[in-house]
Amino acid sequence: MVKLSILDQSPISTGKNARDALETSVKLAQLGESLGYERYWIAEHHDFHGLACPNPDVMLGVIGSRTKTIRIGAGAVLLPYYKPFRVAETYNLLATLFPGRIDLGLGRAPGGSAEVSMALSDNYLKEVGKFSEKIDDLLRFLTQTMPEDHLFANIKPSPMPDIPPKVWLLGTSKKSGILAAEKGLPYAFGYFMSDFDGVATTRFYREHFSKTYETEPYVIVAVHAICAETAEKAHKLAKSPIAWHLMQEKTNEAVKVPSIEEVDAFLWTEPDKKRMEKKKRSLIIGDPQEVKEKLEQLARLHKADELMILTITHDEEAKFTSYRLIAEAFQ
């Protein structure tokens, strides 16, 4: 049976602030642990449309101290912004504190505006070009396999944990699937935010996997899903994240996740309504049985080992209920 995990972007709802959103993230990780989810990942975003977490590393320290067994990780550390040695130190520290539980997901997206990229990096595009090289250096630091003649051969990203963090590559296109296969890394495909053919991407990854870092390919498919006791209620709840995405496109402000009442009261144009219907088709929405069937179908198509569920609702309890119903449906 396919495993289930949680992806969290720490969104801020109207009427709430960033601290509320981050506390909800901690509670979500605790809930996921109690429901038997495999892992919990939190994303990195910078000054981005009402999302509260620019630094997964800090949040993982908090979440790790308030959970016991669930794997926790970054989905993802945006590596072009950082030196591999610094990332290795940070995640070795987390792996020392929380043995056998730390995942280190890597991504190359900017996670914010062009101005943010400039504020974070002197030359972001240049560093993106060095993404593959940075992954190699990071893996060498974590596994202590730096060549003897390398400048960094005699340094260690201390502390050195008994069980190193597990490295993943995240992506939304064939390019990322190719890179994950070349590096021999487990691969997480962002189905919920991709316009590419995910089935072709994950198939290519499996067929061309190089047994270097891992001995077998492993695929996570990340999907946006909303589940409720009835399909009617689930579709109603889905109005909030769908409208939120459209509002993000219509304004440069950090729009918070609107309530259903706010969505219904907004004066949407006909083109807006058509775009919202199109966006809805990228989500999995329904009652427990309907959501389970759609998720299983998605897993079969991608031959996924694991499904990572992103759920965004205005109401915290609705989000928690969705994760609970999905977990129960798969038990």
When pLDDT is averaged across residues 31-48 and rounded to a whole number, the result is 97
Alpha-helical (H) ranges within 13-123 are: 18-35, 56-65, 84-97, 114-120
pLDDT digits (tens, 9 = 90+) for 85-103: 999 999 999 999 999 999 9
Q: What is the pLDDT of residue 267?
A: 87
- Calpha distance 136→139 (Å, rounded): 5
Q: What are phi and psi of 213, to 5 degrees?
A: -75, -50
Whether the predicted model's global pTM rises above the 0.95 cut:
yes
Residue 287 is classified by DSSP as: S
Q: What is the pLDDT of residue 6?
A: 98
Residue 80 is classified by DSSP as: G
pLDDT digits (tens, 9 = 90+) for 163-221: 999 999 999 999 999 999 999 999 999 999 988 889 999 999 999 999 999 999 999 99
Q: What is the pLDDT of residue 251?
A: 74
Residue 103 is classified by DSSP as: E
Give the chain's end-to-end CA distance (angstroms, integer). Answer: 10
- Contact 102/90 with Cβ under 8 angstroms? no
pLDDT digits (tens, 9 = 90+) for 237-248: 999 999 999 998
When pLDDT is averaged across residues 24-30 and rounded to a whole number, the result is 98
Neighbours of 71 (CB within 10 A): 19
- Can you say whether the dihedral through the CA atoms of 10, 15, 19, 23 is positive or negative? negative
**CATH number attached to the domain at 3-230+288-330:** 3.20.20.30
- Contact 11/50 with Cβ under 8 angstroms? yes
Which residues partner with 227 through β-bridges?
286
pLDDT of 252 over the 70 cut: no
Q: Which of 311, 304, 265 is nearest to 9 (CA)?
A: 311
Cis peptide before 153 (omega within 30 of 0): no
Domain boundaries along the sequence of the chain: 3-230+288-330
- Mean pLDDT of the residues in the chain: 96
